[in-house]
Amino acid sequence: MPIRLSPASSMAVALALLASATPVLAQSGAAGLPYDARRGVFSFSSGLEGSLPAVVQVTTLGQSRGPSSNAADPKPYASGSGVIVDAAEGLVITNNHVVEGGRKFTVDLTDGRLFDAVLVGADKATDIAVLRITPDGRPLNLKQVQTVDSDTLRTGDLAFAVGYPLGLDQTLTMGVISGLNRSGLGDAVEDYIQTDAAVNSGNSGGPLLDSRGRLIGINTSILSGGLGGGNDGIAFAVPTRIMLYVADQLKKNGEVKRGATGAIFGSLNAERARDLHLGIVRGAVVADVAPGSPAERAGLRHNDVITRIQGRPVANAGSVNATIGIAAPGSDLSVSYLRGGREATTSLAVETPADQPVIVGAQSVLAYGATLRDQDGGAQVTAVSAGSPAARAELTAGDVITAIAGAPVADSRAAAIALQGASGSVEATVLRNGEALNLTLSL
């Protein structure tokens, strides 16, 4: 389900601006205004109507948890939205969290037809999943949405969210693009579009459209300050730049095959910038570089500050991880960085990850997908890679590992040695907010 939003003022402001245009311009179309002369109203319907039949409701069915449930009869337990991107093949894109754990899936079309669907693949790191509608002998006759490159978006563009929120039928809301390249919301491949178009529970997996009805992103999460978890005007969508790569990988392989660089990145903040004597607070700091890795061969070092990657500005570590996360193994990325106040550039190779669950670097340890640094009384988790064994075990940044398999560990290297000697699953004792927890790490 999403995390939360609210846009009431956006619609009013947009309509007020349109209404202030002179009648001559509106009637002549010289300003390109969406004016329906026949009805005498401003409307975006002509651009959007062709895309709305491609927006579907997705229902996920699984084993009922009731005391008298029949295990062979899956029951609905999750619902969200989706969008048809390939009518010929019946491919629907939605969110991973909408379909996660499901045994069966159904797709409800706007014309009232209901189809079963099968899961082609899902990617937890980007929260993207692909379903294929099964025709069951009936002609599909589907509509698909047109997709546009999300890199062409600008803050202030109009945006429309479509989906099935809060048990309602298909619903359209309008807002603007509030920001681009948002990240830092969790341990994932993040480069979100932020919008104030109203998004609520049930909108997950539905499309974010531009004013011409073209797909620019998949609505994924919202932020809410209220106890009820409602719309507060801040929603996030996975941009088509990431969505298209992930969907193509899922279609071809059933999973996303990601490369690695051997570098561990942290986000630059005001405190870190002062320590490094920098006059900027946006960027990604190289926390460590694994020996013999592509990052080491590229010349990157501890405390280098990445400012651009593939020509895109870097806001924080999420910007770098998002670019690496959709780079195929074997590709090279152009990187600009600061070292000692001077800018330099390098080419960073992305390689197929080595099958090493534990890598000991000069400054930190990468174990089971978690970055560990020395902390009094243990090894502190400073970052967790999305989809990794550490993420599946629910390790989070800030946790301090104090014991592995019941044996105390004094620092990150002691933790590395204990994990290198483990086989199968191993229990880690962690301190989180003063409370001791036992988590199971499995490769």
pLDDT at 289 over 50: yes
Q: Measured between alpha carbons, how far is 341 from 338 in angstroms, rounded to an integer?
A: 6
Confidence of residue 12 (pLDDT cuts 50, 70, 90): very low
Q: Integer distance in angstroms from the first to the last C-alpha of the chain?
A: 28
Q: Look at residue 184 in the predicted model and tell me its pLDDT.
A: 65
Q: Measured between alpha carbons, how far is 301 from 307 in angstroms, rounded to an integer?
A: 14
Q: Measured between alpha carbons, how far is 195 from 161 in angstroms, rounded to an integer?
A: 9
pLDDT at 14 over 80: no
Q: Measured between alpha carbons, how far is 184 from 65 in angstroms, rounded to an integer?
A: 35
pLDDT digits (tens, 9 = 90+) for 60-73: 998 655 555 555 67
Confidence of residue 290 (pLDDT cuts 50, 70, 90): confident
DSSP string spanning 138-194? S--------B--GGG--TT-EEEEEE-GGG-SSEEEEEEEEEEEE--SSSS---EEE
| 97 is known as an active-site residue | yes
| 204 is known as an active-site residue | yes
Q: How far is CA 333 from CA 151, 246, 266, 330, 348, in A?
A: 17, 18, 18, 10, 5
pLDDT digits (tens, 9 = 90+) for 82-100: 999 999 999 999 999 999 9
Q: From the candidates 51, 79, 81, 97, which is the catalytic residue?
A: 97
Average pLDDT over residues 25-37: 59
Q: From the candidates 204, 221, 224, 388, which is the catalytic residue?
A: 204
Q: What is the pTM of this model?
A: 0.74
341 by DSSP, 3-state: which? Answer: coil
Q: From the candidates 127, 187, 399, 411, which is the catalytic residue?
A: 127
Average pLDDT over residues 295-304: 92
Cβ(328)–Cβ(249) under 8 Å? Answer: no
